[in-house]
Amino acid sequence: MREQYPALLIIVPLLTALVIPIIAYLVKRLVRWIAMGALIIANISAIGALMHVLNQGVWHYRFGNWMPPWGIEYVIDPLSAGMALLISFISLVVLIYSDVFLKEEGWLKIGMYHTLYLLLTVGLLGMVVTGDVFNFYVFLEISSLSAYGLIASGGSKAVVAAFRYLLIGTIGGSCYLLGVGYLYAITGTLNMGDLAVRVQPLMDSPAVIVAVSMILVGMGIKMALFPMHGWLPDSYTYAPPHAISFISGVMTKVAAYAMFRYFYFIFGAANETIAIVLQVIGAFAAIGIIVGSIMAIAQSDFRRMLAYSSIAQVSYIALGLAIGNMYGLIGAMFHILNHAIMKCCLFLIAGGIKWKTGEYKIAKFIEMSRKMPKTMGAFIIAALSMVGIPPTAGFFSKWYLVLGAIEKNMWIYVAAIVLSSLLNAIYFFRIIENAYLKKGQEDIVPASPKKPELPFSMLVPIIVLGIGILIIGIFNEPIVCQVMQYGLPGGGMR
């Protein structure tokens, strides 16, 4: 069993996703537990794979014993194993949370929701573990298609948002596929490891430059890098809260991971072409950080504010890639982890507030701290972490990014990071002020043990993620030294 972890990681959720509609038709209550079981197996496989690669180095898993470059292989290194663990963990947490929203629905809706949700998880997991660029495209489309479906389930506005996301996302997918086509035309291989060797002497050829630009555009759209972020605010605002917590948490990060994989592991950042591309990414990211933060201040809807703040935060990851030295890359990886947990936690809180009070408007959050003390406690941790106050996790990723930027004398990036932290503080403290300091008119019934603020299955994920932010912040040093540094390019071997 143990040597099959990479296959189990994909196959168990995939098969479960396919049988779930039938189970939903027969026994509605069972669906949730079966989906949860599949995700727990995925979690165990991800942990097992991570342990294995940390002890024994990169793991090549070949399907049907076809040797690469002919067969498809899964390549698991510390970076992809860590991403797989993050994805399956967030997926499990949000699945537990989503129960309350789906309880009253019919069997078809419950079945379809869980199918799409598991397919989305499979797509994202597949993208991080695959070692084949075309296989990556297939998983990319699996995850995107299920994300369109999940977003569209949020009502009549969400349908329009999902359709526009579908159009833009398909442009991204097609651009990526065209880039793969150019790479295949010039090297004759689709295997990432093989490609990395064969593309090196050809880095100056126009075909590779076109391929790099196409992959940049494709992944840029999928990760909502600054000028290509148009699909994100509407989709994040109108999607149902349980689905969007997962999508916002990991989907853009996986595209960022793909950029990392392409530019640092396949093409290699030492090439002149890639150095120029990384400068472009850095400029976009620096603008995106500032624009996203300013747009977030202007919003009155909590979810829309979080959506714009996502654009800013994803740009931090791109900025880390653009800085490109050891601190920068560790900062980027650490921010993938942090932002996945922080943004997921914040969207879960947004869903919780909506469930309790029916409000998304920030102005209506007055005295929310008395109505839902535990939820707002988790909110404070997540908000401080987004701003970057020391014991929370968000501080450390920004710290690594700033260290990296200073080491390479990129002072504009330092200024962008510091300025954006101040802007983050403005829009998060506005909510904290409303929730804790302002006095409302009406009498408020505080939460009590008899009348809890939220159902147990909603409160636990919020608190787990809130505490997780603190734990990651406090134990950032062991996480970086014992896991993340092996994920750096060339650091995967022992």
Partner 1 sequence: MSKEFLSQYLLYWLIAVLFMIGPIGMIFKNNLMKKLMAMNIMQVAVIIFFLALGQKMDATLPIEIPGLTGVTNYINPLPHALMLTAIVVSLSTTGVALALLLLIQKKYGVLEEDEVLRRMDQ
Binding site residues, partner 1, CB under 8 A: 134, 137-138, 141, 145, 148-149, 152, 156-157, 159-160, 162-163, 166-167, 170-171, 173-174, 177-178, 181, 184-185, 190
DSSP 144-183: HHHHHHHHHTT-HHHHHHHHHHHHHHHHHHHHHHHHHHHH
Pick 185 or 280: Cβ nearer partner 1: 185
Q: According to DSSP H, which parts of 248-325 are helical?
A: 252-260, 272-297, 302-323
SS3 405: helix
Pick 145 or 285: Cβ nearer partner 1: 145
Pick 234 or 367: Cβ nearer partner 1: 234
Please report, as a single letter, which amino acid is at residue 374: K
- At closest approach, how far in Å is the CB of 376 from partner 1? 31
**Whole-number Å distance between alpha carbons of 210 and 216:** 10
Pick 48 or 149: Cβ nearer partner 1: 149
- At closest approach, how far in Å is the CB of 10 from partner 1? 16
**Whole-number Å distance between alpha carbons of 219 and 384:** 29
Pick 15 or 160: Cβ nearer partner 1: 160
- At closest approach, how far in Å is the CB of 251 from partner 1? 16
- At closest approach, how far in Å is the CB of 137 from partner 1? 8
- At closest approach, how far in Å is the CB of 403 from partner 1? 40
Token code pair at residue 117: 């949700």
- At closest approach, how far in Å is the CB of 136 from partner 1? 12
SS3 27: coil
CB 4 within 8 A of CB 98: no
Q: Which residue has the tokens 């943004």?
A: 343
Pick 32 or 114: Cβ nearer partner 1: 114
**Whole-number Å distance between alpha carbons of 335 and 342:** 10
- At closest approach, how far in Å is the CB of 493 from partner 1? 31
CB 243 within 8 A of CB 151: yes
Token code pair at residue 194: 């093989």
Pick 119 or 462: Cβ nearer partner 1: 119
